[in-house]
Structure 1
Amino acid sequence: MPLIRNSYGKGRVRIMRVDRDSPRHQVRELTVQCMLTGAFDAAYTAGDNRKVVATDSIKNIVNIVARDHVGLDNEAYCEVLARYFLDRYEHVDAVEITASETRWVRIAVDGAPHDHAYVLDGNGHPVVKVSASRAGTTIVSGISGFTFLKTTESGWEDYWFDEATTLKPTADRLFATAMEASWRWSQPPASYPEANAAVLAEALKVFATTYSPGVQNTLYLMGEAVLAAVPEIAEISFACPNKHYLPIDLSPFGRAFDGQVFTPTDEPHGQIECTIARS
């Protein structure tokens, strides 16, 4: 039976490039699929793998090129990546790179776009819960899946160490979360839309402009700021997974980690929850 056509490669290679060459950082998060065609027929028809570039190697090359070109636009990065395979492997005839971007937009603090803090584009789902009985009515507003990150000004140090501890402390890490938040009203505000917008604005201002020694402290400070800014809120609750962006070890390829390339991962994640209320 003839082998009509074939291709292979690596899919869902998730890569976060952080351009830190100036105080104004730039983030570009991609999910990449890289497919090769060429002289690979024998791998299919005879089990001869001698010309097959391992898909794990393809993943490594995606990361290597990302590290070497953190500042390129996505189109230019994908073009350089495709050319890398053609230049390196004579038996590769064609490369198809497909990259889907997770878009981040800068958090506005006092009307100015922040240098290193972002929210996910097209972000979050507002929610309302009303509980009514003959004794009274409780109204809770909130937001689900509201995702934001910052590329620096976050650490995790001085935590409990014992025989189960393998995590290394750091004073500079990428901090990201997809927040579930709800706030209970003690009385109606003049405008629910304006008050709800103020909740997010105050929380994000704290997130962007203060050093975070841990998600726990940041959530508490965000809650304090919200209660100070919106007097009609009785209490606010947060539930925040610590979305991890893991540093990629490129030392086998002669490249040091300098806070520029990460693997995004959602599972498993830390889960931090708290409620802040008025005295």
Structure 2
Amino acid sequence: MMASEIDGFRFEQKHGKSRVRVGRVWRSGDGTDSFAEWSLDISLFSDCLAAYVNGDNSDIVATDTMKNTVYVKAKECAEALSMEEFAIELGSHFTSFYKQVTAATIKIMEKPWERLYVDGQPHKHGFKLGSERHTTEITVKKTGAVSMTSGIEGLALLKTTKSGFEGFIRDKYTALPETRERMLATEVSASWRYSFAHLSSIGKPLHFNDSYQNVKKVLVSTFFGSPEGGVYSPSVQYTLYDMARAVLSRFSEIESIQLRMPNIHFLPVNIRSKDNPSIVEFKDDVYLPTDEPHGTIEASLSRSRSRM
């Protein structure tokens, strides 16, 4: 935030526009359309102290202007681009076009529209809604300094075996039995910070959509292991660390990664009565799906040189 000293107080401020929604269609010469739907949050850090203390709005960029700028810039992007590229374009515009603006933070969430396939063939203008969502947050300063994070939300993963939980603290409050055989389900939220420190260091061409897909593939493949044998998970904590380490090992341009993985429980079903001790006897086959309460496991992994 922009900080100032006023009457012996420290005052910080920023202003912006939230939940600006835009859909963009790009049409190619062969009739194949590309489509993206984004929801944007814009925050400007600017020298407009007079608006707060004197009622002088002459240095304020109106939030309605920010909204309109999104649509103008979307129109100007003649070719399909990643939302990271669009965020860089917006941030660069706000910091260069307005002398009062020293930095701009652009957050974008992409709705997961995916190309539709009919009889195994990609439809030229048909799309269906997927599940997990692509996110980004980019701050651009007037100097050209930049910080970039991308991420994924709502990546639901489940495996029916190759998971256990043993050797944890047991005391008078512990009822959970130890096991080497259980379901493992989670909904991954991940955010990773790129190492780029300046707009000039990003270079061309940009491949952020490919990077997003590749990071997702590494997260998924590490969680599940090989198609035939899989990989054993002694805890969600162990699997989370393994996934984070795999991403940093694979992608040198990623400085750090943060993962949040709730442990979504599938409880063994054992139904008994006084007269019948095994109406339903659990044999790793019948479960009660639950989504609350659930365990919450969260951690971040950074390279030693990381700014995170």
Q: TM-score per shorter chain, which class?
A: 0.5 to 0.7
CA distance in 2, matches of 1:168, 1:191: 47
CA distance in 1, matches of 2:258, 2:137: 14
Q: Does the residue aligned with 1:207 lie in a helix, a strand or coil?
A: helix
Residue 259 of structure 1: how far off its partner (Å): 1.4
Q: Does 1:257 align with 2:268?
A: no
2:301 to 269, 276, 279: 276
For residue 174 of structure 2, what is the aligned residue in structure 1? 165
- 1:75-94 matches, within 5 Å, as none
- 1:1-279 matches, within 5 Å, as 122-134=130-142, 136-187=145-196, 188=202, 190-209=206-225, 210-252=231-273, 253-279=278-304
**Which blocks of at least 5 consecutive residues in structure 2 are unaligned?**
1-128, 197-201, 226-230
CA distance in 1, matches of 2:297, 2:255: 21
Q: Does the residue aligned with 1:202 lie in a helix, a strand or coil?
A: helix
After TM superposition, the score normalised by the length of structure 2 is: 0.49
Q: Does the 8 Å contact 2:269/2:280 carry over to 1?
A: no
Amino acid at match of 1:202: V
CA distance in 2, matches of 1:205, 1:237: 17
Q: Does the residue aligned with 2:292 lie in a helix, a strand or coil?
A: strand
After TM superposition, the score normalised by the length of structure 1 is: 0.54
Q: Does the 8 Å contact 1:215/1:272 carry over to 2?
A: yes
Q: Does the 8 Å contact 2:150/2:191 carry over to 1?
A: yes
Q: Does the 8 Å contact 2:248/2:255 carry over to 1?
A: yes
Residue 197 of structure 1: how far off its partner (Å): 1.1
Q: Does the residue aligned with 1:203 lie in a helix, a strand or coil?
A: helix
Q: Does the residue aligned with 1:205 lie in a helix, a strand or coil?
A: helix
Shift in CA distance, 122/258, structure 1 to aligned 2, threshold 3 Å? farther
Amino acid at match of 1:262: Y
CA distance in 2, matches of 1:232, 1:134: 23
Aligned residues: 159
Residue 255 of structure 1: how far off its partner (Å): 3.2
Deviation per CA, 1:170-207: give whole Å up to 9, x if none. 10110000111100000348511111111111111111
Deviation per CA, 1:199-253: give whole Å up to 9, x if none. 1111111111121110111010101111111111000000111111111113445
Amino acid at match of 1:248: V
Residue 260 of structure 1: how far off its partner (Å): 1.3
CA distance in 2, matches of 1:132, 1:160: 47
Q: Does the residue aligned with 2:181 lie in a helix, a strand or coil?
A: coil
Q: Does the 8 Å contact 1:198/1:229 carry over to 2?
A: no
Q: Does the residue aligned with 1:267 lie in a helix, a strand or coil?
A: coil
Amino acid at match of 1:206: T
Q: Does the 8 Å contact 1:198/1:230 carry over to 2?
A: no
Deviation per CA, 1:87-115: give whole Å up to 9, x if none. xxxxxxxxxxxxxxxxxxxxxxxxxxxxx
Q: Does the residue aligned with 2:293 lie in a helix, a strand or coil?
A: strand
